[in-house]
Structure 1
Amino acid sequence: MQSHSQGSAPEHRRLILATRNANKVIELRAILAGAGLDLELVGADAYPEIPDVKETGTSFAENALLKAVTLARATGLPAIADDSGLCVDVLGGAPGIFSARWAGRHGDDKANLDLLLAQLSDIDDEHRAAHFACAAALALPDGRERVVEGRLEGTLRHEPAGTGGFGYDPILQPNGETRTCAELTPEEKNAISHRGKAFRALVPVVRELLG
């Protein structure tokens, strides 16, 4: 998959990713390239004139579709979007769709992490089960749309470990692993991650709808 700047590939071979998060664009480009999709993936920052979509849905799937549909309509190009977060059993599935703004300000990873660890400080290991969930949506300008989901089960550490990844990666230890998601290599993480599973599930849908 090419990762050139805007204008380097025919428009119909371009897929827009509804995020301005450079880490996520890199991660998804690696996942989709690994699946052999010959498409140019560009982030939403290639289209700065399009405003960010407010995530007003009540589920990961609703938010992912909202973003993908809005971008597809605005650009006339196929768009994919995802919405993901951490769901903690003992918190009834929270932070869930509020994962990125759990501490009050959107995207403050450290504040979110610190608040969650403080909330769980008295919770013993056997009750620290959690999973990352991801809904990935594909929307075409003609109105066709699809959503698929993926999840990664694990338990929450008491202290962050590792410098890779982003968000809550430093505290989720996948089941069967001795390391957190932030201690895995990008390749190891993509192989098991919620986002990796969701986007690999989206690949046959992209093939089917885009040919």
Structure 2
Amino acid sequence: MTNTSFIIQKTAEFVKQTLKTAESGHDWWHILRVWNNAKRIAQTENVDFFVVELAALLHDIADAKFNNGDEEIGPKTAGDFLKSLNVDAEITEHVQQIIRHMSFKSSFDAVGFTSEEMKVVQDADRLDAIGAIGIARAFTYGGFKNREMYNPEIEPDFSLTKEAYKNSAAPTINHFYEKLLLLKDKMNTKTARKIATQRHRFMEHYLEQFYAEWNEIK
């Protein structure tokens, strides 16, 4: 019989160690928040908790944007680790598929895979991209990439392709319109939609305040 508690513990330890020097918007604390939100959402859904927890823990183990755009390094790293713990092949493949298809950039493609477990983990990850923490993460990553906070001469692009999204160097404020403000309506579960509504409203208030302060510049 699979000792799921042991595997979850070892996975958490592996992720925490692997991401100890990660950019702070995609570090262990991000993983912990997503993990906790995934468990919270999963309580109201008919899902395999073991798959949900593994996918939540491993979803950013090797994010493509920090690995030269390699979209297979994450699933491979996760798969190799789970195989080292002798996790069932079907579960391992499910976790890899979730990691492969759950990101926002994947939404630009035709649906290649989905599952109830992916919907839960996807919602948990998207919740961490909005609200107060989502704002902090956006500006942290923007600073990491040396992007402008805001440039009124550069309009948001509402017709981005996947490649354009991946290669965008637009100011961080544009990211609100190109992704963050879109996430509320992309939530899969009732629990996530409820949480997202409040966080979305906070972002709207933040933007109002940001523009009010920006427009004081003369």
Q: What TM-score, normalized to structure 2?
A: 0.35
Q: What TM-score, normalized to structure 1?
A: 0.35
Please identify which structure carries the higher helix content: 2
